Chain A
Amino acid sequence: MNQAVTTTDELAALKAGARERSRWSTYVLLGLLGALFVWSYQGSEIDLGMLFSADGGGAIVEYVERLFPPDLSGKVVADAVAGAWETLAISLIGTLLSVVIALSLAFFGSRNLVYAGLLYEMEPRRHRVLLRRLPYLTAKAILNFLRTIPEMLWALVFVFLVGLGPFPGVLALGVHTGGVLGKLFAEVLEDVDLQPVESLQSTGAGKIQILFYGILPQVLPQFISYTLYRWEVNIRVAAVLGFVGAGGLGQRIHITLSLFLEQQLLTLLLALYVLVTGVDYLSAYLRRRVV
């Protein structure tokens, strides 16, 4: 509010009015939120009574009891380790694939590299700018498409396309994460510091040279950092992709869940825990080392 306020009385009145209004909007918001909760409660068929009744609660306690002790016989452990390795492999190759996809699209998806800003201010003909927008918009659209479909759905699709096994998992991770990383990379490229670019340009460097000497050195640490972060996410996702038939620990977890092999399930969950924690530590270590 920019109007001049002369007396303190007026100021007080204005403040009171604002407070009154904000109180009303708070009530309205809270009311809406309450209505949303009630509507959702009814729609999602929540039955807390069942959860806490002797029947439902007893079933859960019994289930937990059946998980113990974990089955640590040699065969089961070897299978769990193999599953963990496979999950690690899926996440690693999937993340690599995603970096390839992201790198091949991110440069087209950042405005300052494709048509706008410093690199193009000497450009004589305007209509070429319009032409250049086309790859930008295409790259953005592809990245959005890849990103919006969750990994699990991609996995379903790829299981249909290439059959069961870890390979569809790799493709699903790569395609979805490619969309995510592509967007992040493009944002990093757009936020690049222009001073080095400008000084390179003043020495007469071409666009490719500017890219390699002015832009890439700036963005590389952030690219690596984002990639490591997504790898941490992907190891968790790779562990459940098996639910739709895409290999790894998930497939084994799905089987033990379906066949009521609770003690083996616990072994697999322990393997998953070790794997996820290990990758988290490794990724944190690499980030400190590399970035």
Chain B
Amino acid sequence: MKISNLLIICLFLFSCSRKPEEIHFGTDACDHCKMTIMDQKYGAEIVTAKGKVLKFDSAECMVDFLHIGNEELNNPKTIYLTINTAAPGQLIETSTVSFLKDKNFKSPMGGNLASFPSRQLAENNKQSADAQIMTWDELLKSR
């Protein structure tokens, strides 16, 4: 009885968990450009419907990756995240993110994209006159 309980618990533990995974800066490589992910202010991650985790060194790399297209990503359950530029290392869901495109933010792949959890914060971090603020959908379309 006890053993069977334990087995069931184990089964639950091993079942697919669709959770974002922390990016290990300095060791994980970008799934699009193959570069080692180093800069804690930038980064992105996709968790597919099956629970596979793809990591990127920047939001622009994730957008490029989506641009190439992939069957698996069409599933609406796919989760997209980016690193909060204001809190290095923290992942936030792209649906809530305000992307700031400002040439003073030198993201790893030359996209000059910083991600902030609110529009207000993005406004506050604006440094150049020609900076733009975009939502995730606008960013995807702008590509």
Q: Do A and B bind each other?
A: no
Q: Which residues of A contact B (CB under 8 A)?
A: none
Please give the residue numbers on chain B whose beta carbons come within 8 Å of chain A beta carbons, in ascending order: none
